[in-house]
Structure 1
């Protein structure tokens, strides 16, 4: 696979990724190199990664606790303190080896430490390969509120090695696959049809490449999310609110990101049918396709009311308005759509039917 280039870095795949990494480390002469991992990637990914490094670098390994609940400023502070204790300077670099929590948080930590040190992302989950790999978004949650604190800052490179997917269970793979389905819905109807036919994840590499290409094309046209890049948030306005609610609610089991976003895409599909002309046949296709993969979730009236109050914290909001990305049809979006509250509740009723 050819590398995918952006104006400031490249996404490299498979063995080429390690070739480019070794070349970069040899040429850059970093004073210190830190590798950020969580417990899982420390055990299951780090040995494989280190075996591909040619020269004998004195890597410092920093481990954080795994999971979205640890993607917060407290964890950042702990990492910054370790960097200081280990004499990191402005010529140091950080390699973020992990899923979206590690790459989002690690990129933010690196971007702020001593006003910015180099970082390299090595996503190890399907979600992080197709979502966090492109665009330069870094950051952490503020309590249960998703990605409220962060900056857009680009890595030196991104390395995508599908071999790491062998360390994931089916639920984690399906979570990442939801973002790939989103890429088809917002940009490419033929890709959506191809993804619907995927039954397992044995030969997913070409689809990963397509998803990264789609996201990169969008980000290249709108790097700071003024217009077009907003389409990448389809399903995320309600999906993030649902994810945040389940993160904090003691009476609910945790929902993975893709599981929450899959619900959000059905809900926002209904809003699209009502407001932006999405054909009913396409709405029903969206609902059936997601419910075939993701377990249906039950929402009480109290759940829904609380979720809707969380919408006011969505990052896309402007001037007190909640702005939605909706579909005109599969493959084409409308942005900055205002939605009446009664329709939001109707959407949950449609999901529950």
Structure 2
């Protein structure tokens, strides 16, 4: 597969990825190499990766506990301390091997340590391959608020090897699929149509679907790297989805949702809002709702859950001048950003989801 040119870095695929990495290591005089993993990728992915690495550099592995609950500044402090103790300097290289939590947090750690050291992302989940590792967003959660602390800073390269997907449970594959569905809904109706019958998908060709998803995200990001305009399109499903994800993460009585599970709900809700703002047709909404619900189980949202979810919208990073801003679809394959939505319509969307 041909590499994709992003803003000041490339996304390399499968075997080409390791060739590009090893050339990069030979051409750059790094002092040492730190690989950040969580306990899952340390066990399942690091044994795949290390034999493919060609370097004489001293390699140190830094592991933290997996899960969104550990994507916080406390984990960063622990890693910064370890880097300091192990003699990391401005010429060190950090490789983030893992899912979105690892690439987000590891990218932030590298971007801020000694005011920034080089880093490379190697996503190992479907979600991080098509979303988290591409685009330069790094960061951590603040309490239960998603990605409140962070910087936009691009890696030296992103390496996508779909071999790592064989280490994932089906739930993680479904989680990543939500972002692929989103890319179709906001940008490419033909791509969306490919997912309407999952049974018809030839998963031998799944690499091509991943490639197109990365391509779509990259085409949007190169136009607007710092999210002042069209990049906001990528937040479709995320305004309500992130609030739901944060609420379920904080609740002691709710089962924590995977990112894609929450975004799937958000896409249905925000498609309903798009319908009632006259942006999509009833047939388009029915198609979206049916397709998403055929993949993701319904999540029980009680009446007393809705108000605290809505309160979390206040902290959404897209808000401007105190106004909550939505990215809504304007027909399948098109987007309309900076849309204000009244609370009653949001409440109606929740009622429709539950019906």
The TM-score with structure 2 as length reference comes to 0.98
1:134 matched to which residue of 2?
A: 134
Partner of 1:23: 23
| Structure 1 CA distance for aligned equivalents of residues 317 and 251 of structure 2 | 21
Aligned to 1:76: 76
2:32 — aligned with what? 32
Question: In structure 2, the residue corresponding to 1:252 is in which secondary structure?
Answer: coil
How far apart are the structure 2 equivalents of 1:7 and 1:341? 37
8 Å Cα contact 1:276-1:334 kept in structure 2:
no
Q: Match of 1:238?
A: 240
Aligned to 1:327: 329
**Backbone CA RMSD of aligned residues:** 0.9
Q: Distance in 2 between matches of 1:161 and 1:195?
A: 22
2:7 partner SS: coil
- Residue 99 of structure 2 corresponds to 99
Q: Give the conservation status (yes or no) of the 8 Å contact 1:108–1:150.
A: yes
Match of 2:294 among 292, 295, 301: 292
In 1: Cα distance, 2:103 partner to 2:196 partner: 28
Q: CA deviation at 1:302?
A: 1.1
Q: CA deviation at 1:276?
A: 4.1
Distance 2:7 2:246 in 1: 33
Superposed, 1:1-353 pairs within 5 Å as 1-199=1-199, 201-353=203-355
List runs of 5+ in structure 1 lacking aligned partners.
none
Distance apart, 1:54 and its partner CA: 2.2
Instruction: Tell me, in whole angstroms, the C-alpha distance in 2 between the residues paired with 1:266 and 1:202.
Output: 29
Counterpart-to-counterpart distance in 2, 1:170 and 1:202: 16
Retained in 2: the 8 A contact 1:276–1:327?
no
Question: How much has 1:57 moved relative to structure 2?
Answer: 3.0
CA shift for structure 1 position 257: 0.2
Residues 153-179 of structure 1, C-alpha deviations (whole Å, 9 max, x = no match) = 000000000000000010000000000
Q: Is the 8 A contact 2:31 2:57 kept in 1?
A: no
Counterpart-to-counterpart distance in 2, 1:57 and 1:202: 36
**1:122-160 deviation per Cα after TM superposition (whole angstroms, max 9, x unaligned):** 000000000023210000000000000000000000000
Look up the SS of the partner of 1:196 in the other structure: coil
Deviation per CA, 1:178-215: give whole Å up to 9, x if none. 00000000000010001223337554111000000000
Contact 2:104 2:133 in 1 (8 A): no
Q: Which runs of 5+ in 2 are unaligned?
A: none
For residues 275 and 226 of structure 1, what CA distance do their matches in structure 2 show? 23
Equivalent residues, number: 353
Would the aligned equivalents of 2:38 and 2:63 in 1 still touch at CA under 8 Å? yes
| Distance (Å, rounded) in 2 between the aligned partners of 1:239 and 1:97 | 26
- Normalising by structure 1, we get a TM-score of 0.99
Task: Give the C-alpha shift of residue 300 in structure 1.
Answer: 1.2
Deviation (angstroms), 1:71 = 0.3
SS at match of 1:51: helix
Q: Which stretch has the larger CA shift, 329-338 or 52-61?
A: 52-61
**Greater alpha carbon shift after TM alignment, 48-57 vs 142-151:** 48-57
CA distances 1:262-296 after superposition (whole Å, capped 9, x unpaired): 00000000000011421110101111111101010
Question: Contact 1:11/1:133 (CA < 8 Å) preserved in 2?
Answer: no
1:121, 1:233 → 2: CA distance?
22
1:29 Cα offset (Å):
1.6
Separation in 2, partners of 1:276, 1:136: 34
2: distance between equivalents of 1:195 and 1:129?
Answer: 18
